[in-house]
Structure 1
């Protein structure tokens, strides 16, 4: 599966390095935009991904996780991001 993970981090000054590491640990990843990650993982679902990542976030932060494995998509992203997506779709 390919998950799109996006978030709003609302706690100024908080160190979110552990969140970024947790995202990277889920599986092969690509970060096409500042607060958007594409992550490949076949053993988790959107609920598990969201629950896992919330542990590394502040209570005021927001997160949205979508399974985009078989979704149509279009946009202006770096070429490397489209190549990454093609690998998993």
Structure 2
């Protein structure tokens, strides 16, 4: 069972960008982050290189959402924009 399945089974509403991107993707991302209580970010090199993921991460940080980084790639190092946001969030939160 996936993390989203587990959370859904526990009664949480789960929004996954790859499943929910219909219409204007920026409006959908904004709405999802704006309405989120908690943001889980599944970090990998591909995630870090994605401009849309970067936008979501910046928006979540700007809105001071609770963010839990989950590293999904062996030997992944949080650096670049991912490292910057999490260092700022962990120090300032």
Compute the TM-score of the two structures, normalised by the length of structure 1. Answer: 0.30
More strand per residue: 1
Asked which structure has the greater RCO (Cα within 8 Å, sep 6+), the reply is 1
More helix per residue: 2
Compute the TM-score of the two structures, normalised by the length of structure 2. Answer: 0.30
